[in-house]
Structures are given as structure tokens and as C-alpha cells.
Amino acid sequence: MSTIDDPPAAKRGRTESTPSTSTSTEVRALEFYCGVGGLHYSLLRARSNERKQNTSVVGSFDINPHANDVYAHNFGTRPIANSLSAIPSTRFDKLNANLWLMSPPCQPFTRQGAQKDTTDGRSQSFLRLIDILPELKNKPSHLLVENVVGFEVSDTRNALLQVLRDNGFTYKEFILSPRMFGVPYSRPRYFCIAKRKELKWAMDEKFSSEIVHREPPPCFLSDPKHWVKAPHIDDLEPTNPTEATVARLKREEGQTAEEAAKVAKEHAKINNAEPKKTYGVATLEGFLEVSSIGKQSDGSDRCDRIDAQKNVEESSSSLYSEYAVPVKELQKAKLSVSAVLPSDRKCNCFTKSYGKFVKGTGSFLVEEEFDWREWDGQVGVVDGSGDAADGTGDGTGDGTTTSNTGDETVPRTNPQPPRARYFTPREVANIHSFPPDFTFPPNITTNQQFALLGNSLSVACVAPLLEYLLNDQ
């Protein structure tokens, strides 16, 4: 049996290991919809060093070949690529896992989707998993389910909870965002954690199963010090992560997405008038590949500090060139851009389309604050000479452009956006709290990296939940 500290050599098409009898301290996990390994990394963080030798992932499942390439690259074992609907329940019994980790497809429940719920074909594999749970001879003793906000008002969630109740589980539900753990990232997600009812919960009286909780679980890893590195941990600013603290309303039958959004906005306005718990959140600076903080206070002489600062500026400039946001994308999303500075304490959720488009796919970085409402959208970003990068400059190097009014050419000056770039894949991984040794194999393109990370999860949210779940009283 392989532990999470010592993954076996990659084997195509299977991740099974020899079953052994589970004990109260041993964890044998199955990862469903494993992606690039966010659940695996979360389990690794949740287990203390002395317990890691008693922890193993005995099977992982995903049908995305690129995700499986990345998973095998990092863990040495290739996930099973079969459809979960086609795998017999006897195979799960054979694996004898006592922990199920599940992050099923979110499209049936997303705010902007059709919200077909149980009638969506992408829900069927998950519904099948919970349907076979009663049939298993070796049922798991612990489960975790992750999905988008909106799942908590779905029929699929109701089916899950009914199966848990009928099969002797107690459960707790949460909606959490990384900003509750100090990470400047707005990615609210629904979680359900469950265990056999003979296994007791810590602080059970506070975290009942009657409501969806909107605060971190009571455990060691809920402290931001585990997710924000020095020196940034010393600069946390109190924030109310309303993306997770304001309840989502279920869309009424016949209601359009726009109508539902309007009702939700009014609902949020009412909720925001009430006092909310705040959480200390760091700046984005500490999650970037190039950080200016701490570069000039290492005791070196002035010349060394100047050289170091020059290297920082050159590295930053290189990233702005390599990951530049195309001007045409800025023009399309002019009034709905999500531009952030390294000093900001929030960036929006990255989706699988990040790097391809700007609008609605996640935040991008800019060098300085800019009022996008002042930009006419017809002039590109100013290049190094001060002329517009799209060739509309007049050659004076002062950032001016010209416009024709009849027979007359009138010089004019337009506010120019600062240089803008996408976050790099490494930075997106950092913001998802993936460890520094997480890497992509060379066959995965940049756009594929963005897509895989956009479909992943926040380790900072999941690891504390697993620590709380596995802390049997």
C-alpha cells in the first residue's frame, strides 16, 4: 500500500493498491472527479506528520486525459479514466476505502447555467454514486462533497442528504471562501462533510446539521498562518467575504437569470445591512511570482539592493510581456473588467476559460490604478515610447491620438490603460493554495493549465474541513 508521502510509479489506467483492514487511525481514500489533485493535496495537509504513514489514496477517478497527465506527473499514479456510471459497485467494495472525496461536475448548478439539476446528464454519475452507497459491503465512514454555491438549494443535494440519513451518517454543511482563511481570492463553494453516526464531532453543539454554516470549522488549519506566508501574514486586513456569507436564493420556475440576479441583489443588500464576522485577508503580493516586499531589507549593501530591485523590475516586465492581456479583450470587457493591483485583497474566481477571455473568467493584474470608465475603448495600451500599442499613436511619444472631424485632424489625448497581464499558472496555483512542488508536465499548454486550475478547488478551504471531519471524538 502506498502512502501519500510516497506515491508509486505511474501506472496507466489504474490506481488501485492492495486493500487492508481499516482502523480508527488509518485513512484509505477514494478521489472521485480528482482533477489535478486538489483533493489529494488537501488530504495531505489535513493529516499531521505522525498520521501520514497511515494515510493512502487507494483509487482516483477522472475522465479528463489532461488532468490525469498532471495528476500522474505529481503523484506517480494515473487516475482511472472509466466513467463512474460504468464501474460496478463490487470494485468500490474491493478498494475498501473509508473516506470518499467527491467534487462532481458543477454545470448543473451554476448561477449562469440552465440549472437542470438532477435532469442534467452531468449529474448522473454522482447520483449513481450515492445510489450505490447502500449496496456496499464496505461503506465509507467519512465523506466530503464539494460543489458550487447553488448546490445547497438543489434536488441533487436533497438526494445526497437523504441517502446519508438513511444509511446512518450525520453531516454538516458549509459555504466557505478562501478569504475566510486569509487568501485574497473570492471563490465561494458549498461543502458537505459526513461521518458514521457512532463517530462524534468536535464542537457538535455549535455546528449543527440544521443549517448551512458560513464560517470555517473549529480546527488548527482554519488559521490564516497556514495559508499566507511571511511577511504578508503580518499585514492582514479585516474583510467581510460576502460571496460566502450571503445566502443564495433558488431561481423560481420561469424566472430568467437576469430576474433571479436582480432579486438576489436586493436580498444581498438586506443581508449586508446586518453585522457580519470579518476575517483577516492578505494582499495578492505574496502569491505572485515576483514580489517586491522583502527584497530590500536583507542587510545587503545599497548596490546589492539596487541590483536586486532591478532584477525584480525586469522579471515583472517579462511577465507583463509574456502574459499580456490583448487589447481587443480589454475593449470587449471595458465596463466589466476585473483589474487588480498586487496591493489588493481580492481577486475574482478563475474559470476554465481564463487566459482566453477577460470578461467573467477571473481577475487580471495591472501596474497602476485606472478608471476604466474614462477609457473610450478605441485606443490600445500605450507602448514603451508612449504611443498606442495598436499603432494609433501620433509618433510624438506622449500618448496622444488623432481624430478626423471633416477635413480637419484634431489632436486629442485619451486616458490610457496601464499594462495589464493575466496571472501566471503558477500564481493561480498559489492562490488555490497548491504546494510549491506542484508542477505541470511539458505536454500541457498554458491554456490547458488555466483550464485545469479553473476546474480545481481551494486547498485552503478543503484541508481544514478534512481535518475537522477526521477528528473523531
Provide the pLDDT for residue 20: 32
DSSP 8-state secondary structure symbol assigned to residue 181: G
Write the pLDDT tens digit of every residue in 448-459. Answer: 999 999 999 999
Q: How confident is the model at residue 272, as a pLDDT? A: 47
**3-state class (DSSP) for residue 226:** helix
207 pLDDT above the threshold of 90:
no
pLDDT of res. 387: 43
Q: What is the pTM of this model?
A: 0.82
| Euclidean distance between CA atoms 146 and 464, whole angstroms | 13
At residue 301, the pLDDT reads: 53
Task: Report pLDDT digits (tens) over 122-133.
Answer: 788 999 999 999
Q: What was the pLDDT predicted at 300?
A: 46
Type of residue numbered 55: T
Percent of the chain with pLDDT over 70: 75
Name which residue leads in pLDDT, 399 or 158. 158
Most confident of 243-247, 316-320, 373-377: 316-320
Least confident of 2-16, 67-81, 307-321: 2-16
Burial (CB < 10 A; 0-12, 13-18, 19+), residue 102, is buried
On whether the CB atoms of residues 89 and 27 are closer than 8 A, the answer is no
* Chain centroid, CA 49 distance in Å: 25
Between the ranges 176-185, 389-398, 414-423, where is the mean pLDDT highest?
A: 176-185
Q: Name residues whose C-beta falls within 8 Å of residue 138's C-beta, 6 or more positions apart in sequence.
A: 92, 93, 95, 96, 97
CA triple 8-457-271, angle to 5 deg: 155
List the alpha helices (DSSP H) in 371-433.
Answer: 425-431
Question: In this model, does residue 182 exceed pLDDT 50?
Answer: yes
Q: How confident is the model at residue 243 (pLDDT cuts 50, 70, 90)?
A: confident
Indicate if the pLDDT at residue 357 is higher than 80. Answer: yes
Dihedral angle, C-alpha 196, 202, 205, 209, nearest 10 °: -40
pLDDT score, position 400: 47
Compute the 3-state secondary structure of the chain and give helix, strand, coil in percent, each to the nearest 5. Answer: 35, 15, 50
pLDDT at 395 over 80: no
How would you label 309-334 residue by residue, b for 16+ Cβ within 10 Å and e otherwise?
eeeeeeebeebbeebbbebebbbebb
pLDDT at 309 over 70: no
pLDDT band at 380 (very low <50, low <70, confident <90, very high): very low
Residue position matching grid coordinates 489588493? 344
Report residue 2's pLDDT band, with 50, 70 and 90 as the boundaries.
very low
The CB density around residue 243, as the number of other CB atoms within 10 Å, is 21
> Is the pLDDT assigned to residue 5 strictly greater than 90?
no
Q: How far is CA 234 from its chain centroid? A: 24
pLDDT at position 281, please?
Answer: 98
Q: What is the per-residue pLDDT for 194?
A: 98
Average pLDDT of the residues in 283-298? 72
* Residues forming the active site: 106
User: pLDDT value at position 157?
Assistant: 92
What would the mean pLDDT of 408-430 be, rounded to a whole number? 83
Rounded (10°) angle between helices 65-75 and 446-454: 90
H or E segment to which residue 213 belongs = strand 212-213
Q: What is the mean pLDDT of residues 244-264?
A: 69
C-alpha cell at 432: 488555490
> Which of the listed ranges 64-78, 106-120, 140-154, 260-274 does the model predict with the highest average pLDDT?
64-78
**8 A C-beta contact, residue 358 and residue 336:** no
pLDDT at 250: 65
pLDDT at 199 over 80: yes
Query: How sure is the predictor about 242, in pLDDT bands with cuts at 50, 70 and 90?
Result: confident
| Residue that has been written with the C-alpha cell 468536535 in this structure | 202
The pLDDT mean for the chain works out to: 82
Three-state DSSP state, 443 = coil
Give me the long-range contacts of 275-280 (CB less than 8 A, separation at least 24): 276/240, 276/242, 276/245, 277/215, 277/240, 277/245, 278/238, 278/239, 278/240, 279/179, 279/180, 279/181, 279/182, 279/224, 279/238, 279/239, 279/240, 279/241, 280/182, 280/224, 280/236, 280/237, 280/238, 280/239
User: What pLDDT, on a 0 to 100 scale, did the predictor assign at position 384?
Assistant: 43
Q: Which of 11-15, 69-73, 91-95, 126-130 has the lowest mean pLDDT?
A: 11-15
On the question of pLDDT at 107 being above 50, the answer is yes
**Chain segment 48-65, per-residue pLDDT in tens:** 877 888 999 999 999 999
**pLDDT score at 67:** 98
Q: What's the pLDDT tens digit per position in 6-64?
A: 443 444 333 433 333 333 579 999 999 999 999 999 999 999 877 888 999 999 999 99
Amino acid at position 279, single letter: Y
Per-position DSSP letters for 291-312, written without gaps between them? --TTSS-SS--HHHHHHHHHHH
Instruction: Report the pLDDT averaged over residues 189-195.
Output: 97
> Which residues lie below 8 Å from residue 201, measured CB to CB, with a gap of 6+?
170, 172, 195, 207, 468, 471, 473
Confidence of residue 303 (pLDDT cuts 50, 70, 90): low
